[in-house]
Chains A and B, each alone.
Chain A
Amino acid sequence: METLNYLNDGHGLASWLLTKDHKRIALLYLGSITAFFAIGGFFAMLVRLELLTPAGDLLASETYNKMFTMHGVVMVFFFLIPSIPATLGNFLIPIMIGAKDLAFPRINLLSWYIYMLGGIFTMVAALSGGVDTGWTFYTPYSTAAANSHVITAALGVFITGFSSILTGLNFIVTIHRMRAPGLTWFRLPLFVWAHYATSLIMILGTPVIAITVLMVAAERVLHLGIFDPALGGDPVLFQHLFWFYSHPAVYIMILPAMGVISEIVQAFSRKNIFGYSFIAFSSLAIAVIGFLVWGHHLFVAGQSVYAGMLFSILSFMVAIPSAIKVFNWTATMYKGSVWLQSPMLYAIGFVGLFTIGGLTGLFLAAMGLDIHVHDTYFVVAHFHYIMVGGAIMGYLGGLHYWWPKITGKMYPEPWAKLAAAIVFVGFNLTFFPQFVAGYLGMPRRYHAYPPEFQVWNVLSSAGASILAVGYVLPLIYLIHSLFYGARAATDPWGAKGLEWEIPSPPPTENFEITPIITHGTHQYEPSKEVGIA
């Protein structure tokens, strides 16, 4: 006889679409971001297919422009930004702090509907002819020249931004006001700290992109001249406002993944994190300094050289808290009882790939070198190492780690290990050659290229097909496990934390009575042997 939990507490479509339970809303998000990931991946596949040969033979240049634009828009705004916060964060934050729900359950559901509405706008833009401005919507191209569906896509981004704002607002209030008695700030799991920092960026940055996109739309519709040089406007102002959000947005993607990694590394090393407060504060430091580095996107946009120097120094500084995290994860594994289950494979993969992505970010923060590699595939490779090698590895690791808790079912471990290995190999084969091609001078955003770059592009496209297998595999075995997986125990990993003390899957109310916390939520004792459930 199955006990009552959030999954069987209410049946039918309405019980899902009108739910106020943070756990069900997390699953609504999980389903929709998976769909958007598939759509964004489809666009990426067409891009990689086109680039197999030097000639622009598969897609016309306009079509190619639309493909990489839609790939960027969908992946950034509809997959990466909501990925971990809206699914794992939504599911876990109330449980990790001993609360029954987020502070504003109705707003939480509203944010999912807003997200879907924004997604529909973007899909309409894609189906009715697409957008070719690049995901950055740079003016004056987006306001004056492009005759694609800029307004529809921009409105999609504008709308979905409010979903992000509301999620961040909900998390901040929840973490401030809903912590169980005794759960002080420095007893919080690092996953919660990471989401707190992420939420700060969401509420401070997202409104700026919203108003910027609105100005672009107003300029296109009402023929104002805010960014139009012919009318006294300044297109570079757009770039400033855009990157004021969009650079910190990179940290919206990576910080939650860092929170996931901090949890996984502890659980699978059977050791408390090395330097808890350093990791907690480094999340905040990344959020704060991350707001002061946007100018490194404008090194060749006519920005004053002194501003450039300042932004360059600040960009170097933001690497420090990131490096602290990498050192502390490594130090946590050191002399721990490392257990190489699939979440840990993703976590170790994350540490390596994020390090490469971060270090190449320093190349780009150096003004002289940036001029050489600006707008080349070097940049493309760099941010894919952070976003795919970092954020998606963290997302997949976290999804596997908490899958037994979320669904109450165990996934097949051998398949998961295989998928993790395929993702790692496929990823590196896809993106490492792009560093080389970019350094040799191959520019981004062209559908044709000189033949000497072909070898790197063939390698990259081959890697992309391997990567695709690595992404489809989990989709298959995770869904399979829903029906045929073994029943998951309360704490299948022998991990510590409030979420591992309530049943899998959790009951609707999470905690029948609010727990009182008397110590930090992670108490690993490395000497003790813990077996698999």
Chain B
Amino acid sequence: MPEGRAEHYPGPIHQPPVKAGTVHDGQAVDALHAHHPKLQHHFDAMEQQAEASTLGMWVFLVTEIMFFGGLFMAYLVYRSASPAAFQEGSAHLSIGWGAFNTAVLIFSSLTMAMAVRSAQIGRPAKTQVGWLLATMALGATFLGVKVIEYSDKFRHHIVPGPFFDASQWEHPAGVEMFYSLYFCMTGLHALHMIVGIGIMTVIAIMAWRNQFDADYYTPVEVSGLYWHFVDIVWIFLFPLLYLIGRHYHG
């Protein structure tokens, strides 16, 4: 509250019901965590603020699960309706690139975790930014591979829509459905990766300006939660899209 405003208040109006057992020790709480510069006005303590932010991110990730869930539902329905076509479509995806990208993302989760940890234990800004840049570079690598894979699909006319070449497939309708879902699911995932890299950029700038310390590293932590979530989505997408029926052929 800005200085000088208090005089406008008509006295101690916000007292809780003054009844037996009603006490107030707000000052004690304040004194314990005396005005960290990053404490927003509506929180009583840094812990409360950090807990609110992390819970907020967890709740947001729940909404993300439901968001992707609609696509996974569609996948489930259509794969069970035409398993052979899904297998046929999947066979054209490169397991090599898929596995490489899986490794890249798992490794990026490690660098992300290191970024959170280095902010938490107050490592120098250079170290924090280093881990964040490594995470962003790995994310960019993933997207680069995705570009290679997508352009391969365009070259071979297996992008659903008017340019889809049905002649090369045994089950063209089902394969087109498979690739509709492939592009929707990996496209939405790639969009999340791009957003993630954008967030990392902001966090890296904040880290470079020495904004994080042991009492305040929540932005790094919640961005990490988001990054790990996007990784986990890929961990599901990889087997569901790339590995259908592969065990038959060894």
Contacts and interface: CB of A to CB of B under 8 A. Distances in A.
Nearest to B8: A4
A182 to B, nearest CB: 9
B22 interface: yes
A208 B65 CA distance: 9
A512 B29 CA distance: 14
Interface stretch (A379-387, A472-480, A481-489, A495-503): A495-503
Given A232-B177, A516-B22, A98 B52 contact: no
Contact of B42 (A105, A226, A237): A105
Interface residues of A, number: 61
> Mostly helix, strand, loop or mixed at chain A's interface?
loop
A176 B48 CA distance: 10
Contacts of B162: 223
Contact of A514 (B20, B44, B52): B44
* Most interface-central of A100, A177, A515, A523 (chain B CB within 10 A): A177
B139 interface: no
B5 interface: yes
Interface residues of B, number: 57
A226 B48 CA distance: 45
Nearest to A177: B52
A102 B29 CA distance: 19
A218 interface: yes
Contacts of A180: 16
B124 interface: no
Contacts of B14: 501-502, 507, 509-513, 515
B19 interface: yes
A342 B1 CA distance: 38
A31 interface: no
Contacts of A241: 70, 73-74
A57 B24 CA distance: 70
B51 to A, nearest CB: 5
A511 B41 CA distance: 12
A206 interface: yes
Contacts of A211: 67-71
Given A103-B52, A232-B177, A203 B19 contact: no
A206 B17 CA distance: 39
Contact of B176 (A4, A99, A231): A231
A210 interface: yes
A518 interface: yes
Given A177-B55, A231-B173, A511-B14, A237 B48 contact: no
Contacts of B32: none
Which 10 residue pairs are nearest across A and B when measured between Cβ atoms? A515-B16, A211-B70, A207-B67, A4-B8, A232-B173, A101-B42, A207-B66, A100-B42, A511-B14, A224-B180
Given A173-B52, A232-B82, 12 more contacts: A3-B9, A4-B5, A170-B56, A173-B59, A210-B67, A215-B71, A223-B162, A232-B176, A237-B77, A240-B73, A512-B13, A515-B15
